[in-house]
Structure 1
Amino acid sequence: MRRAARLALALAVTLGLAPGTLVRTDTGLRSDPATITIAPIPIGTPPPGPLRLTGAWQIRSQHGWVGGFSALVADGQARLISASDRAFRLDIDISHGDPRVVPGGFRFIGRRYSGRRELLDLESLARDPASGTLWAGYENHNLIERFAPDGTRRSVEPPAMKDWDDNSGPETMVRLRDGRFLVIAEGEVGDDPVYHPALLFAHDPVEGGEPMGLALEGLDGFDPVDATQLPDGRLLILLRHVEYFIPARFTAAIAIADPATIRRDMPWQARIIQHLPGSLLAENFEGITFIPAPANPRRGTVWLIADDNLSMFQRSLLVRFDWAGQASRTNEKAPGKPDA
């Protein structure tokens, strides 16, 4: 989120509200056992567009640290991996219809970083499907950490990310199928809301190397918060717009962009293909991933997860859309958006 708006919202909460009205106060200990349910909820009227809403579930728990889910990746065709901005990982089994938590699948993955500081504000995930290696992007540090399957970790603070805002850094990270990594900041290029800085790494960013700099455009007032690659190589980019009231109001949309059109120091064009209106989808969605259908990999399901900010006014939701391979490469307007 933009720094000025966040500060204004925090000041309003501090001055005008009693403790506990926005954020859960009894968080307990990280090590407390967690019982987590994922229950279906009505989807209402699905929004128009190439993504067809087919399911929605709410994640609930009495554990004070369950929530804040800010990233999502696929683990094969049967599982999802989410992570929170409090550095908890949640593994979700989707192989039997309704999603359910994998036994032992909720655990703290944060660590000491420098002195008494902890590495916590996890905002993005990427995964290598061949090895199972995970990468996480952290705001407040503008840092990328690699989680190897053997449990070892290694991290880097890319110099090209050092000037990104602490509160709107590597919100989006994707490992492309050719091994390159795309990292997109939630923040803007300078004070221009049209452009968002991005970096394209030729390989694993933890191994170093100078990335290609670029700027993402075409988001129509939204900020990028996550992305996933489709079978044809294009990316679906999850977008968010925040209105800073108390409580905050959220609007989501999904854009599409082709990495094949990326050029150094040139604007990279995205196009919104679907707005996500309605009370069900008016949540703080921050994670997106695509899972191909076994019978036809060009089709599949798109999953989104919402960050409740550990607030009593928001929900941790998991929603599923069917993707039938639509969305042409032309510049038609997004469904639900009026003509200019």
Structure 2
Amino acid sequence: MLRFLLLAVVVIGLAPGTFVRAPVRTRGEAAVVTVTPLAARTGVAGELELTGAWELTAEHGWFGGFSALAANGEGGLLAGSDRGFLLDLDISGEAPRALPGSFRFVGISDQGREEVIDLESLARDPATGTLWAGFEYDNLIIRFARDGTRRITAPPDMAQWSMNSGPETMERLADGRFLVIEEGTGSVDANAHQALLYADDPVAGAKPLAFHFVSPDSYDPVDAAQLPDGRVLILLRRVEYALPARFDTAIAIADPRTIRAGRDWRAQVIQRLEAGVFADNFEGMAYVPSAADPARGAVWVIADDNFSLFQRSILVRFMWDGQTASPAPDTPQTKKRPETPDA
């Protein structure tokens, strides 16, 4: 009973909105965002060079919960929250800056208690500006055109994914394909996550290739970003349920050219965030190429504060040197998982 009560307290502590740090205002009210540099440099280890860390704050009850990140192709980042908001960040200077008035609600609020707000992943077409967002609970993908129109789809292949650990990872690859990975597993193998590779826009109804992403060291995948050489970085997270909860984050690398229908796809860990301010709930990641040398650039990760007093909205920047972690491509597994259909 004591363990049950402790677990209940921890879960309540992680529940969004449990600890409200400012009055909950209307969704349309402007948020004045402050970006504060953090001096901490310990707590990270690996092949990427840490070049900056900042905390994002705003006196607005809906601010926080950032669980997705995407490059906007215009010298900036787009952060998405699990309360259905987007925030534009200008990263053209030495430090990021939130664009005034850019914190806006994009969820669906016209269905009474059946709101669609749990935005967990983002993907963007740099040529058209079209944006795709993955929503947990309902396991939906919503496409936002640049003119403001949107289209919603509930992919049949995602219908059985967990309500609380669905399409947490989504990335539009440079060749137009879409990679979507379930955060949960739903199988006897706690490391095997269902994954889909769409040949084109998933909202258009194409049938995906189905496979499994096998996460290293019992981590769960929470976001992805493609690099200039075609490989993909995958953001991984583990949670230790204590009071307060402790988070352990890793960044892994994998080659999408090795994905095969019905087989396992694996990644190699190249970076860990484990201590101090970096032991937080990092859920979003994006890669932004350097204007001077597109083969090099910055890897950005953002933390979801869960609207909790114990956590913060932290934005971190690493340098990608274009040469980090360059092993031979992974060899696809020869054994096919029987529960995964061919596509």
TM-score clears 0.5: yes
Which of 108, 131, 146 pairs up with 1:134? 131
Once the two structures are superposed, what CA deviation does each residue of 1:173-208 show, in whole Å capped at 9, x if it has no partner? 000011110100000141311211100111000000
Task: Give the Å deviation of 1:36.
Answer: 0.9
What residue in structure 1 maps to residue 325 of structure 2? 327
Question: Which residues in structure 2 correspond to 1:90-109 (within 5 Å)?
Answer: 90-109=87-106
In 2, are the aligned partners of 1:123 and 1:170 still within 8 Å (CA)?
A: yes
Question: Which residues in structure 2 correspond to 1:64-213 (within 5 Å)?
Answer: 64-112=61-109, 114-213=111-210
2:258 is aligned with what amino acid?
A: T
Uncovered stretches (5+) of structure 2, i.e. residues with no partner: 331-343
In 1, are the aligned partners of 2:7 and 2:241 still within 8 Å (CA)?
A: no
CA distance in 2 between partners of 1:46 and 1:323 (Å): 19
Which of 214, 229, 233 pairs up with 1:232? 229
Task: Give the Å deviation of 1:297.
Answer: 1.2
Once the two structures are superposed, what CA deviation does each residue of 1:6-53 show, in whole Å capped at 9, x if it has no partner? x98773358999xx8745473232233321101111132373322100
3-state SS in 2 of match to 1:112: coil
Task: Give the Å deviation of 1:273.
Answer: 1.3
Task: Give the Å deviation of 1:271.
Answer: 1.2
In 2, are the aligned partners of 1:9 and 1:244 still within 8 Å (CA)?
A: no
* TM-score of the pair, normalised by structure 1: 0.90
Once the two structures are superposed, what CA deviation does each residue of 1:290-327 show, in whole Å capped at 9, x if it has no partner? 11112221111000100000111100000100010210
What residue in structure 1 maps to residue 295 of structure 2? 298
* TM-score of the pair, normalised by structure 2: 0.89
Q: Identity percentage over the alignment?
A: 56
What residue in structure 2 maps to residue 281 of structure 1? 278
CA distance in 2 between partners of 1:121 and 1:83 (Å): 10
Task: Give the Å deviation of 1:209.
Answer: 1.6
Once the two structures are superposed, what CA deviation does each residue of 1:131-185 show, in whole Å capped at 9, x if it has no partner? 0000000000000000000100001000000000000000000000111101000
2:170 is aligned with what amino acid?
A: M
Which of 255, 260, 263 pairs up with 2:257? 260
3-state SS in 1 of match to 2:8: helix
1:187 is aligned with what amino acid?
A: G
What residue in structure 2 maps to residue 53 of structure 1? 50
CA distance in 1 between partners of 2:5 and 2:195 (Å): 27
CA distance in 1 between partners of 2:181 and 2:111 (Å): 25
RMSD of Structure 2 on Structure 1 (CA): 2.3
Task: Give the Å deviation of 1:276.
Answer: 1.6
3-state SS in 1 of match to 2:52: strand
1:294/1:226 CA distance change after superposition, 3 Å: same
1:16/1:83 CA distance change after superposition, 3 Å: closer
Task: Give the Å deviation of 1:278.
Answer: 2.0
CA distance in 1 between partners of 2:111 and 2:160 (Å): 20
CA distance in 2 between partners of 1:141 and 1:261 (Å): 30
Uncovered stretches (5+) of structure 1, i.e. residues with no partner: 1-6, 333-340
In 1, are the aligned partners of 2:43 and 2:277 still within 8 Å (CA)?
A: no
Runs of 4+ in 1 over 6 A off after TM superposition: 7-10, 14-17
Question: Which residues in structure 2 correspond to 1:33-52 (within 5 Å)?
Answer: 33-45=30-42, 47-52=44-49
CA distance in 2 between partners of 1:23 and 1:245 (Å): 21
1:257 is aligned with what amino acid?
A: A
In 1, are the aligned partners of 2:24 and 2:60 still within 8 Å (CA)?
A: yes
1:13/1:56 CA distance change after superposition, 3 Å: closer
CA distance in 2 between partners of 1:14 and 1:141 (Å): 21
How many matched pairs?
Answer: 324
CA distance in 1 between partners of 2:6 and 2:20 (Å): 13
Task: Give the Å deviation of 1:57.
Answer: 0.5
